[in-house]
Structure 1
Amino acid sequence: MAVNTTASAVAGQPRHGTVSRCAPRRLAAGPTTAYTEVKALLRSGGAAGAPAAPRREAVAQEPLGSTKDHQGAVRVLPAHRKPSFPGR
């Protein structure tokens, strides 16, 4: 029996056309401040090299931990509720 391990199959999503229609809304509802930092880390990743990546990520995590996005997500985590992200 073949097992489909693509991201769409794991997420229970249809495979064709789903990303282009659903991803923008899901991304906009997510932790946009963290997404911005991830994009910056990815853009600068090649210049600093792989050995420097863990340190750059740790430095980026410190200010993100004090955002309202992070605080709200941590607050609802024990109750297994879906977090909301105000983008701050």
Structure 2
Amino acid sequence: MIFEWFSTVFSEPTEQAKLFTVAISTTLAVALLLLNQWFIRKRDKKERTIEKLEELIGSVREFYSLGNEVNRSLNLNKNYDENLI
């Protein structure tokens, strides 16, 4: 039933050309949409990774500074401020 309607509506070559054009346009639009979403996700993931690495670098630097302070205090036989840790 649907196939008969489809073949009747698109029996003319001009109608078939219109159908082909619509099918190609729709396929291209969906493909571009999916590619765009993929690129956006990839860019967001990269930005999140960079942000997390910057936070990690800051934490490592802070840990290194505190370690140096504790080490310097122990070498000088001073009491270090435990509230900093």
TM-score after normalising by structure 1: 0.29
Select the structure that is richer in helix.
2
TM norm structure 2: 0.30
Which is greater in Rg? 2
- Structure with the bigger RCO (C-alpha within 8 Å, sep 6+) is 1
